[in-house]
Structure 1
Amino acid sequence: MDAGNPRAVDDKRAIDAVVRAFFQAFTNKGGERPDLQLVRALFIPVGLIVKTCSDVPTAYSLRQFIEPREKLLSDGILTDFVEEELWERTELFGNVAQRFCLYRKSGVLRGERFETRGMKSMQLVRTPEGWKICSIAWDDEREGVAIPQEQAKAEVRRAI
């Protein structure tokens, strides 16, 4: 990003706000109600979300992604859930942006506390209504898939 370019600085702030709202939309920690309708508003109508946490990627339309998560987050199966961005790199060119980010999620799933980290790749486009997400792909840290050192170091610096 060209920090000397006022439009690029404004674009980065707007993208930061979209990404922050995306992560916040799933929170049900401390009795907070998730706002998955907001997720629809943050995406272009034909957004694509891809989970790559196994050998075979799973692609979701917005509806396919949101509906089971609404149930999971509102019926007591997943409680005290929060997801937050820990590190990011955003690249902008004209009306397109790429965001690569490290995130952490935690909560209580079926009575068992968990915490994990992962990486998301987000593509955004400028629309007449502002910046919108057009696609997200993510993978979670697990045996054989570790957070790259550059991002892990950034997380440690942030915590200090």
Structure 2
Amino acid sequence: MSLTGTPLVTDPDPVDVTAVEHVVGVFFAAFTSGPDLDDRLDDLRSVLHPRAVVVRTCGQPVEVYDVESFLAPRRTLLASGRLRDFREWPTGGRVDVVGDLAQWFGTYEKAWVEGGVEYAGRGAKSVQLARLPEGWRITAAIWDDEREGVALP
């Protein structure tokens, strides 16, 4: 059995694609410092399945989070004042939908000021979603950041 070959190609309903893109947008919007942080993180919680798993790789020991262990330290960091003007945004990606499952796979950038110094980074994220009675919800997400030996095109 070969696990490579022709990729799965679907012709998803544009309504589903728009809904998935909205959920992914909520995910990225949550990671912005400044006013309304609590509202953005609450919005993110509303699109996460209660038992969602979020995984960070980034060349470090893999860290696996549940919803609360993922959100709490980010709320603390973004509200602490240590980072100014922090934001993340998608730079490109694609949505695949098959029945009640969907995936967004794409790249993103981030920028912030810390200690008066401007920083920026890039990475890739994969976000898996399930269609639930209340709409599309994130069931899992994983990310890796660009670094020595891991470059984005």
Per the shorter chain, which TM-score range? 0.7 to 0.9
Bigger relative contact order, structure 1 or 2, given CA contacts below 8 A and separation 6+? 2
- The answer on 1:2 being equivalent to 2:11 is yes
The two structures, once aligned, show a CA RMSD in angstroms of 1.3
Match of 1:130 among 125, 131, 135: 135
Deviations 1:75-109 (A, max 9, x none): 10121011100101111100001111100011113
Distance 1:74 1:55 in 2: 24
Alignment of 1:105-144 (within 5 A): 105-144=110-149
Match of 2:83 among 68, 78, 86: 78
After TM superposition, the score normalised by the length of structure 1 is 0.84
Amino acid of the structure 1 residue aligned with 2:83? L
**Per-residue deviation, 1:36:** 1.1
- The answer on 1:27 being equivalent to 2:54 is no
Amino acid of the structure 1 residue aligned with 2:15? D
Q: Which runs of no fewer than 5 residues in structure 1 stay unpaired?
A: 150-160
| Identical-pair percentage | 41
Distance 2:80 2:18 in 1: 34
Structure 1 or 2: more helix by fraction: 1
Amino acid of the structure 1 residue aligned with 2:74? R
Q: Which runs of no fewer than 5 residues in structure 2 stay unpaired?
A: 1-9
Paired residues, number:
142
Amino acid of the structure 1 residue aligned with 2:71? I
Partner of 2:6: none
- Secondary structure at the counterpart of residue 32 of structure 1: coil
Amino acid of the structure 1 residue aligned with 2:35? E
- Secondary structure at the counterpart of residue 67 of structure 1: helix
- Secondary structure at the counterpart of residue 87 of structure 2: strand
**Residues 51 and 58 of structure 1 are in contact (CA less than 8 Å); yes or no, is this contact kept in structure 2?**
yes
Partner of 2:106: 101
Q: Which runs of 4+ in 1 moved over 3 A?
A: none
